[in-house]
Structure 1
Amino acid sequence: MNTIQKKVLTLTTVVVLIMMTIWIALTYYNRQTQVQYNAILQRYLILNEVNVASQHLITDLNNYLSMPSSTNLEKISLGKENLRSSELEIWQLGHQENEFELVNYINLMGSLIETIDRAISLHTQQDSEAASREFNDAARIANYISDTTLALVDKELKTYDAFYRSIIEQSAELNQLGIWLLLFLTFSLIVVMYTLSRSITRPINQLTEAANALSRGEFDSEVQVDSKDELAFLAKTFNRMRLNINNLISEIQMKAQLEKELQENKLLLQESQFRSLQSQINPHFLFNTLNTISKKAYLEGAAQTSDLLVNIAGLLRYNLKRLNRSVTLYEEVTVLKQYIDIQKNRFTDRFQFNEEIDDTALSIPIPALTLQPIIENAVIHAIEPQEDGGMIAFRVKDQQDIVLIEIEDDGPGMSDQKAKQLLEGLIVPKEGHSTGIGFTNVIKRLRIFYGRDDLVNIESEIGQGTKISLLIPKQRGMASGGEAADC
């Protein structure tokens, strides 16, 4: 059943056809007017070209007589060719009103060319005085050509004056016709759209009233819709729904009771889990214990062990208390140095760590536990498997709108396909992170925090190591605003 769809499609088709018809008619009229206008304008341009060519010939002849050269002579020859080529176009401009003027115009063009030829010939024969007289004659002829050009243009304007006025009148009439057509189409569309919308909204209003009655518990009122489209089918469906509403209400009540019981059980389960957590070791107790052991080790002369315990306590406190907060890059770098000290104590000379940090870039916000999981991943893949250990480079650079963080190792590297899958979250790195936060999780938290996807880049080749670049924007995007994005 598609009655409403047919109505809308029919209305759209009619409107499109009317608009296309008007557009085609206007386009055809404008094209005809433009063709006629261009033809008249071309006549003026031809006359102007002859006038300009004659003036250039006089200028070139004067240059030649003053300074004879092959270049000046070649310019004169080219000007005469242009003047001769315009002669046929001038003949095509003729009509009853300007026939005499055109014959005189063409004769003047020929006389000008002949006079120029005589002047050149006399100058070649070293008769400068005669050549000068011929030049003066050529200048007078060129002036006659200019005067005749103005007369022809004036006659053309008078001849086509009626055409210009008709164009103006037709344009005004076309504007009036366009206004009336617009008003007619607007009025017609308003009437048609009102009729169409009325045929749709009236049954909808009836269904709305029936729904309101049903919401008040009046299950006996039947919906009456007179239309013969999809809304009539909807009304019949509504009536069938009304007949079964009591059974549905009873069923919903039963489900609600069951849901309530399930919710109560869930709350009991959560309370049980909470009590189980309470029975675990208090993190503060663990921190205090580590600090106590550190101080005891220091008093006993084991300074290195004391420092190691302090780093472990600080790292544990940071991991547990900062996971759901944003921190500054300075805090991340500080705890990262504690982690590096722990790993250096673990691997001794096998672990080389080079850092290059721009202190001016450490004030930007960043999700907590962003750097440590990446460094851990590098330790697991580039340091642990190698008998001689390896090197990890850590760089922080300030680059205009972003802070570039690079973590590079000399490990076994990976293929481009694997790097791409790692960025897309299709490969989960090997377990072994003390924080329990994998590389994929770091990428997701960064994208949520900054509201962007172009934050992480992996450059790696098999056997050539891996470089991970974090492009941290100095200004967070709108999608990451608020505490909800602190990850």
Structure 2
Amino acid sequence: MKHLQKKIWLLAIVVLIIMVIIWISLTYYNQKMQDQYNQILERYLVMNELNMISQETVTSLNAYLLDPSDANYRTIERRKNRMRQLYEEVTAFRNTDNESELTNYTNLTVSLVEMTERSVNFQISGEIETAKSALNEAIHIADYVSEMRLSVIDKELRTYDIFYREMIDRSEKLTELGVWLLITIILMLLFFTYWFSLRITKPLEKLTESAKRLSKGQFDREIEADSKDETAILAGTFEQMRININNLFIETKQKARLEAELQKSKYLLKESQLLSLQSQINPHFLFNTLNTLSKKAYIEGSEETSDLLVSIADLMRYNLRHMDKPTALHEELHVLKQYIQIQKARYTDRLTFITEIDETCLDIQIPGMTLQPIVENAIIHAVEPSEDGGTILFRVRHALNHVVIEVEDDGPGMTEEKIEMLKDARAVTSEKGNGIGFKNVVQRLKLFNASDDVVDIVSQPGQGTKISLYILKERSGQTYDQSSHSG
């Protein structure tokens, strides 16, 4: 992005330079006028304060003559000192135009201070009448000071009349200059913005047109760019992408055609296999046959064999009916009970099956054929290899917002590596299983819960295995279809 950054920085620097020049110029002229104005205002303020101090000094002197206290004396001294300070400041205002008036004004101020001191001294020495006479003289001098101040200010106004008019003219010219500078800045910004945007948007417009052609599936037209910045790099990358997409599109069409042919062949093969299977074994014929054998065994006194045949028939019927939809937990437990009955007929006392079931959990919905594969794996790995058989503990309990189904055995256990493989759904169906397998159960539970947190395995070599399945009590309302994930 170096070239685009240079253009942006160039525009920013030009604008910044113009703004700095304007700011410095306006600040300089404004400060110059402000300083001159402050100087004039300072002269007026000082003379006005001197006039006020003169009147206050006379007032303080009168108060002292009436009540010659230390407080009144200190007030007179303080105001005399202030008059001397203001005298020094006013003296600095003298120039060729106001020398006469300002000299008279300052002399009157000195006379007022002297007359005040004389009146105080007379009062201290007990010459009351002479002190009052000096007070009257001080009052007259204070009045002269006030009148002379007006004369000095009038002289100042006449002297600085030209300057005031120059200040007004400068202010108007400064305002006019500001307007013209603003117009100039706007025009320059418009020009640079147009030039800068044109250098960027023109190549981007070409790229946009090329992108629209690609979105319509037109991959045969080459993408070009006449810029020398990052847009050219983008156009080159875009062109390479067009070539790759075009090649991939052609290759995908060929693969899709081959895949369609292959899927059609697989479908025909599965259909033929299904028809062949149906022709060999009719489910209804098989169920009727098992029921007939069960009744015959019961009549002949083989009640155990009869019950076993009934369990097999019910188990097969449930498998074919419930693989494509959820079912209640109590139905799964009924089928599991029949499955255990069949296995007990096989393993006799070698199989010990213990259940701990919370009856309040039996109405929860779970995917069909969830429990049997887990228990079957426990029998295969914990009971069958051992001469003494084994024990399987089956537990159903509540836990927060889900129901936990636990299958625990006392078999040889598993290593951590094997547990991780099962949790990652990389375990394959057991060769001795029923074809559903652990992987299939986990995948269907994930789809059913819409969550990956559906199984937990706790096991150590030589200490058995406990598999916990988590079934949500309330799901988000999604539709679950096992038929596309079973097997």
Compute the TM-score of the two structures, normalised by the length of structure 2: 0.53
Instruction: Within 5 Å, give how 1:353-392 maps onto structure 2.
Output: none
Matched, 1:14 2:17: no
Paired residue for 2:32?
32
Instruction: Show the 5 A alignment for 1:171-190.
Output: 171-190=171-190
Whichever of the two has the greater Rg, that structure is 2
Q: CA deviation at 1:252?
A: 6.8
Residue 48 of structure 2 is matched in structure 1 by 48
Question: What is the RMSD computed on CA atoms of the aligned residues?
Answer: 3.3
Q: Could you tell me which amino acid in structure 2 is paired with residue 63 of structure 1?
A: A
Looking at structure 2, the residues matched to 7 and 180 of structure 1 have their Cα atoms a distance apart, in angstroms, of 27
Q: Quote the residue 2:369 is aligned against.
A: none
Query: 1:81-480, aligned counterparts within 5 Å?
Result: 81-249=81-249, 279=332, 283=361
Structure 2 Cα separation of the partners of residues 68 and 252 of structure 1: 117
- 1:21 partner letter: I
Match of 2:62 in 1: 62
C-alpha displacement of 1:274:
6.6
* Shift in CA distance, 285/113, structure 1 to aligned 2, threshold 3 Å: same
**Counterpart residue identity of residue 148, structure 2:** T
Cα distance change, pair 319–98 in 1 and its aligned pair in 2 (3 A): same
Cα 1:34–1:251 shift into 2, 3 Å: farther
Distance in 1, Cα, partners of 2:252 & 2:241:
15
CA drift at 1:121: 2.2
Separation (CA, whole Å) in 1 of partners of 2:220 and 2:205:
18
SS in 1 for 2:97: coil
- Distance change >3 Å, CA 252–CA 59, structure 1 → 2: farther
Q: What whole-Å deviation, never above 9, does each CA across 1:357-378 have from its counterpart, x for those lacking one? A: xxxxxxxxxxxxxxxxxxxxxx
Deviation string 1:26-63 (CA, Å, 9 cap, x unpaired) is 11111111111111111112211211111111111011
Q: In the TM superposition, what is the alpha-carbon distance from 1:144 to its structure 2 partner? A: 0.6
- Aligned partners of 1:277 and 1:149: how far apart in 2? 114
Secondary structure of the residue aligned to 2:217 is coil
Opposite residue 244 of structure 1, the aligned amino acid is N
In 2, distance between residues paired with 1:81 and 1:204?
80
Between the aligned partners of 1:78 and 1:179, the Cα distance in structure 2 is 53
Q: 1:274 to 1:153 in 2, by over 3 A?
A: farther
- Aligned equivalent of 2:23: 23
Give the C-alpha shift of residue 207 in structure 1: 1.2
TM superposition shift of 1:99: 0.8
Q: Please list the CA deviations of residues 105-163 of structure 1 after superposition, one character each: whole Å capped at 9, or x if unmatched.
A: 12111211221122122222333222222111111100110111111112112211221
- For residues 103 and 163 of structure 1, what CA distance do their matches in structure 2 show? 23
Q: Which runs of 4+ in 1 moved over 4 A?
A: 250-255, 270-278, 280-286, 316-321
The separation in 1 between residues aligned to 2:70 and 2:327, in whole angstroms, is 108
Q: 1:273 to 1:80 in 2, by over 3 A?
A: same
In 1: Cα distance, 2:114 partner to 2:140 partner: 13
Query: Aligned equivalents of 1:96 and 1:137: distance in 2?
Result: 31
Q: Is the 8 A contact 2:63 2:72 kept in 1?
A: yes
Distance 1:156 1:215 in 2: 83
Measure the CA separation in 1 of the matches of 2:151 and 2:362. 108
Work out whether residues 330 and 362 of structure 2, in 8 Å CA contact, stay in contact via their aligned partners in 1.
no
Structure-1 residue corresponding to 2:477 = none
Segments of structure 1 that go 5 or more residues without pairing to the other structure are 262-269, 287-315, 322-435, 437-487
The whole-number CA distance in structure 2 between the counterparts of 1:24 and 1:275 is: 85
Give the secondary structure class of the aligned counterpart of 2:228. Answer: coil
2: distance between equivalents of 1:216 and 1:176? 57
Q: For residue 161 of structure 2, what is the amino acid of its counterpart?
A: D
How far is 1:221 from its partner?
A: 0.9
Q: What is the Cα deviation at residue 275 of structure 1?
A: 6.4
Give the deviation of 1:282 after TM superposition. Answer: 5.1
Q: Do the aligned partners of residues 235 and 101 (structure 1) sit closer, same or farther apart at CA in structure 2, a change above 3 Å counting?
A: same
Q: 1:274 to 1:55 in 2, by over 3 A?
A: farther
- In the alignment, the residues of structure 1 paired with residue 219 and residue 359 of structure 2 have an alpha-carbon distance, to the nearest angstrom, of 61
Q: Distance in 2 between matches of 1:155 and 1:18?
A: 44
Distance in 2, matches of 1:271 and 1:72, equals 114
Go from structure 1 to structure 2 and tell me whether the alpha carbon gap of 1:102 and 1:252 turns closer, same or farther (over 3 Å shift).
farther
Partner of 2:440: none
Change (3 A) 1:278 1:73: farther
Aligned AA (2:3): T
CA distance in 1, matches of 2:198, 2:327: 61
The letter of the residue matching 2:170 is: Q
Deviation at 1:190, TM superposition (A): 0.9
Q: CA deviation at 1:318?
A: 12
Aligned equivalents of 1:156, 1:53: Cα separation in 2: 21
Distance 1:244 1:32, change over 3 A: same
Measured in 2, the distance between the counterparts of 1:111 and 1:201 equals 83
Instruction: Provide the residue aligned with 2:304 in structure 1.
Output: none
Q: Note closer, same or farther for the CA distance 1:276–1:220 as it changes in structure 2 (3 Å cut).
A: farther
Structure 2 residue runs of 5 or longer lacking an equivalent are: 264-322, 333-357, 365-396, 403-471, 473-487
Deviations 1:224-280 (A, max 9, x none): 22122211222222222222213433677879x99xx9xxxxxxxx97777669749
Partners of 1:172 and 1:155 lie apart in 2 by 26
- The residue matched to 2:223 in structure 1 has which SS? coil
Describe the shift of the 1:91–1:232 C-alpha distance in structure 2 as closer, same or farther (beyond 3 A): same
3-state secondary structure, aligned to 1:49: helix
Cα distance 1:157–1:276, how it changes in 2: closer, same or farther (>3 A)? farther
SS where residue 41 of structure 1 aligns?
helix
| Structure-2 separation of matches of 1:271 and 1:90 | 110
Q: d(CA) in 2 for partners of 1:274 and 1:192?
A: 72
What secondary structure is seen at the aligned counterpart in 2 of 1:244? helix
Cα distance, 1:281 vs. partner?
A: 5.1
Q: 1:156 and 1:271, CA in 2 relative to 1: closer, same or farther beyond 3 A?
A: farther
Structure 2 contact 60–76 (Cα < 8 Å) conserved: yes
CA distance 1:108–1:277, shift in 2 (3 Å): farther
